[in-house]
Chain A
Amino acid sequence: MSEKRKKDIQRIKELESINLATDDIRDLVVQTKMKVAKDNEQLARQNNEELKEHNIKSVDIVGAIGAGKTALIEKIVEILSEKYRILVICGDITTRVDADRIQAHNAESIQINTGRECALNAYHIHKIIENKDLDDYDLLFIENVGNLICPSEFTLGTDTRITVVSTTEGEWVIEKHPMLFKMSQVAVINKIDLAERLGTNVQKMLKDAKEINPNIKVITTSAKTGKNIDKLIDILEL
């Protein structure tokens, strides 16, 4: 996103919040909103320090709606729940569906319903970890709200960010959404089991990810067949 576009979006958000607020607290609301954006980075760093202090490894997963974020976490948790005590935070607009799915695999899960917000932010994570006994866990997974745009505005303070897309989204999905790939350490192209049938050009997707971020590690997986889940765990050094 260009600087100008970012500024425009920021401006629109401010205007929206001004319209929502009544006269007496308008300034306060605008100020608070601007502060939140600025504070996010700092809070994210604080989250990371706190997790590290308790020897908790942390991973957050962002990606489009239905790309397979929860399915991947289910598979990973299945393999790792013997080795680690795992906490999973699931972000969704509404419902507890994802948290219930994770819970079925011997990991504790906490649902955050973000309502009108299209991404989790560092403050959400701060509120959760502040209220948990961190000595009870070795590994934290965070699944963000399904969205390839919003989460790029907010880091959460994890060690590693994974961006997940799937072959059903078409081979242009990475090229069209560079922001999250720029800020992630790992890119996952999921539903590889469907690539052939759909005729998706996976090579192009691999190439795009590397072009956008030469340092990113890219892997193809299938959360359905389990293909390369072990390799993904290796990449995450878990």
Chain B
Amino acid sequence: MRMKELLKQLEQLLNEKDLDLLKIQELKTEILKNHIKGLKIENYIGDYPTFMEPVILGDSVKIGDDVLIGPKVYIGTDSVIEDYAEISNSIIFDNVKIGKNFKLDSCIIINNSKLNFDNFSSKNCILKGIAESEEELEIIRER
């Protein structure tokens, strides 16, 4: 599937030492605009959050209460989205965890990131790392 391929490419770009932000942004936009379609939300674990399509979820994504997801969101396998999150125009890779009350628009979270704190809000960002507080988090701002 083309979407999977492009996500792989994006993941590779994100794992390079010097990030090519322009290329990353282009690819993100391309994926969200042309490859995330419809609602694929069959296998999440959670209590009826709100989805605005297009939204695609990998297997076993855990979603808390009062969460608003979409439009244009991809969330990878085994990721955990805690209560009161609001996520749009974003790509969250596999095995990510975010805390309560995260508001993200146009963001990417790199795989295996664990953001173990609550109340965070950002636009146009790339997030990465294992962080117990906002200060510990690696935030890369896109233009």
Interface residues of A (CB under 8 A from B): 17, 20-22, 24-25, 28-29, 32, 93-94, 96, 99, 110-117, 124, 127-128, 131
Contacts and interface: CB of A to CB of B under 8 A. Distances in A.
A25 B118 contact: yes
Nearest to B38: A96
B118 A131 contact: no
Contacts of A20: 65-66, 83
Which residue, B48, B49, B52, B83, has most C-beta atoms of chain A within 10 A? B52
Given A96-B39, A112-B53, A127-B88, 7 more contacts: A20-B83, A32-B84, A110-B52, A111-B39, A112-B52, A115-B51, A128-B71
Contacts of B88: 127, 131
A29 B65 CA distance: 12
Contacts of A117: 50
A126 to B, nearest CB: 11
B71 A131 contact: yes
B50 A115 contact: yes
Helix, strand, loop or mixed for chain A's interface? mixed
Nearest to B64: A20
Contacts, number: 65
Q: How large is the interface on B (under 10, 10 to 19, 20 to 34, 35 or more residues)?
A: 20 to 34
Nearest to A32: B84
Contacts of A99: 53
Interface in B15-41: 38-39, 41
B101 interface: yes
A128 B52 contact: yes
B75 to A, nearest CB: 15
Contacts of B89: 131
13 contacts: A20-B83, A22-B100, A96-B38, A110-B71, A111-B53, A112-B51, A113-B41, A115-B49, A115-B50, A127-B52, A127-B71, A128-B52, A131-B72
